[in-house]
Amino acid sequence: MKAVLRGISQVLFVIAGLLFFVGGRVISEFTKTDRVSAEMVGIGSAFVFGIFGMVAKNASDNLDDEDSTGQ
């Protein structure tokens, strides 16, 4: 389970990074919205995916702590 959560967290961090750098441009081109609102949506989505990545990483770290204490 630890490996799955770590893998999920890495994937979520990659998605967050891509959304941060190119999300606004992609959203603007595909949805034909103005660039400013598309950038805001891209950065907001990157923030959300980053938070989910941090939650998954912390959950995997907590599983490490439980395994080391013998519970």
pLDDT in tens, 19-33: 999 999 999 999 989
The domain total for the chain is 1
- Is there a domain that residue 52 lies in? yes
The pair of structure tokens assigned to 52 is: 């989910």
* pLDDT(54) > 60: yes
Query: Does pTM top 0.85 for this prediction?
Result: no
Domain holding 30, by residue range, is 2-63
End-to-end Cα separation, the chain, in angstroms: 15
Q: DSSP 3-state helix, strand, coil percentages of the chain (rounded to 5)?
A: 90, 0, 10
Mean pLDDT of 39-68: 89
Q: Residue 66: is it exposed, middle or buried by C-beta count within 10 angstroms (0-12/13-18/19+)?
A: exposed
- Is there a domain that residue 22 lies in? yes
- Is there a domain that residue 69 lies in? no
Q: Residue 12: is it exposed, middle or buried by C-beta count within 10 angstroms (0-12/13-18/19+)?
A: buried
Give residue 50's pLDDT band: very low, low, confident or very high (50, 70, 90): very high
* pLDDT(66) > 70: no
The count of residues in the chain is 71
Q: Percentage of the chain surpassing pLDDT 90?
A: 75
